[in-house]
């Protein structure tokens, strides 16, 4: 076991300034963390999740809000994944860490795709559900995952290519079905900075033994983007800026959309109503609608001036005076 002095020395020796700055900015921009939170960090064992667990634990040391960090690893069942170093590392830093048994791998092997490979989407669904349940069992109100800015860009482009939509995951969202909030504190961190932080601080990680590693569509997108960035190095920064630069959104508007907007603009607005008399505004024109006494079933409209409209709205004249003046 390690005493408080050992713990403080371990924290001081950590060099995670860039990652901590990214976490702080994401927290400030999207309100990720509140006072009293108990945050379960989903730990796959990879570099991203291990750096997140370490950095979030350190962030709690100087953040102006009090919150707890809990590491949660779901034992999927993939062979030869040893977590002894991770467990010892968490013990040394005083990080609460839990390993949860599951049968995810057994289920995946019974539901292979048509090519006999594990279905990544199904695996992701099971992992998320299992982590969320484990977090609730451990009295956590939030779950944090290690998705970073490169993941966000890859997801954006994959959605554009395969789904015809501009969308990526959010920094924070509440999962109503699970009644838990999902946060992504590394949303501003670049993958290279995370890798550097892991090497610089000798943070242990566990190499995945999933047979799909390195052969997914996401890996293909990652390889393509890395080649793209070599020619356009400014692109990565601008891609990230694009994700939160809502005011600069400029997309095509179909003719149907314009017609709908015009139709909405033509719909009359009720400004004032008294018994059977109604003051309506449609666009820039104002009408007084009333039922003539000689034929109550008939509805008539009188166009009135802006001055007369103001007089009606301020009750300095009456409907009957306007009707008497203009209804011939």
| pLDDT tens-place string over residues 107-144 | 877 877 877 787 777 778 888 889 999 999 999 999 99
Considering only residues 274 and 187, tell me which one the structure prediction assigns the higher pLDDT: 187
Output the pLDDT for position 126: 81
Sketch out the chain's domains with CATH numbers: 4-244 (3.40.50.620), 266-326 (no CATH)
Output the pLDDT for position 7: 45
Closest CA to 108 of 97, 122, 98: 122
Name the pairing type of β-strands 269-274 and 180-183: unpaired
Section 226-230 average pLDDT? 94
Q: Which of 132-146, 245-259, 266-280 has the highest mean pLDDT?
A: 132-146
Considering only residues 211 and 304, tell me which one the structure prediction assigns the higher pLDDT: 304
Q: Write the secondary structure of the chain as one string of H (helix), E (strand) and C (coil).
A: CCCHHHHHHHHHHCCCHHHHHHHHHHHHHHCCCCCCCEEEEECCCCHHHHHHHHHHHHHHHHCCCCCEEEEEEEECCCCCCCCHHHHHHHHHHCCEEEEEECCHHHHHHCCCCCCCCCCHHHHHHHHHHHHHHHHHHCCCCEEECCCCHHHHHHHHHHHHHHHCCCCCCCCEEEECCCCEEEECCCCCCCHHHHHHHHHHCCCCCCCCCCCCCCCCHHHHHHHHHHHHHHHCCCHHHHHHHHHHCHHHCCCCCCHHHHHHHHHHHHCCEEEEEECCEEEEEECCEEEEEECCCCCCCCCEEEECCHHHHHHHHCCCCCHHHHHHHHCC
Residue 149 has pLDDT above 90, yes or no: yes
Cβ neighbours, 10 Å, residue 265: 9
The structure's pTM equals 0.72
Residue 175 has pLDDT above 60, yes or no: yes
Cβ neighbours, 10 Å, residue 182: 22
12 pLDDT band, cuts 50/70/90, is: very low
Section 53-63 average pLDDT? 95
Residue 96 has pLDDT above 90, yes or no: yes
Section 208-217 average pLDDT? 73
């Amino acid at each position: 076991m390690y005493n408080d002095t050992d713990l403080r020395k371990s924290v001081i020796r950590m060099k995670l300034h860039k990652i901590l700055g990214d976490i702080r900015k994401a927290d400030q921009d999207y309100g990720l963390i509140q006072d009293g939170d108990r945050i379960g960090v989903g730990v796959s064992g990879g570099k991203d999740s291990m750096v997140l667990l370490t950095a979030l634990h350190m962030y709690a040391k100087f953040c102006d809000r009090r919150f707890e960090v809990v590491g949660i690893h779901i034992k999927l069942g993939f062979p030869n994944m040893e977590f002894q170093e991770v467990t010892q590392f968490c013990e040394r830093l005083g990080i609460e860490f839990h390993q949860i048994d599951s049968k995810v791998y057994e289920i995946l092997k019974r539901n292979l795709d048509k090519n006999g490979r594990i279905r990544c989407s199904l695996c992701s669904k099971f992992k998320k559900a299992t982590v969320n349940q484990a977090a609730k069992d451990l009295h956590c109100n939030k779950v944090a995952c290690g998705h970073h800015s490169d993941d966000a860009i890859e997801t954006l482009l994959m959605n554009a290519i395969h789904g015809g939509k501009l969308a990526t995951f959010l920094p924070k969202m509440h999962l109503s079905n699970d009644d838990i909030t999902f946060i992504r504190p590394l949303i501003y961190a670049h993958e290279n900075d995370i890798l550097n932080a892991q090497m610089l601080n000798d943070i242990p990680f566990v190499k995945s033994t999933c047979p799909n590693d390195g052969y997914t569509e996401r890996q293909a997108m990652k390889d393509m983007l890395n080649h793209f960035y070599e020619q356009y190095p400014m692109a990565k920064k601008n891609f990230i800026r694009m994700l939160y630069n809502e005011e600069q959104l400029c997309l095509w508007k179909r003719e149907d959309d314009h017609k709908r907007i015009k139709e909405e603009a033509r719909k009359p607005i009720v400004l004032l109503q008294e018994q059977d008399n109604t003051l309506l505004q449609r666009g820039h024109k104002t009408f007084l609608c009333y039922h003539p006494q000689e034929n109550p079933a008939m509805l008539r409209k009188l166009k009135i001036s802006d001055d007369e409209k103001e007089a009606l709205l301020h009750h300095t004249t009456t409907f009957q005076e306007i009707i008497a003046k203009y209804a011939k």
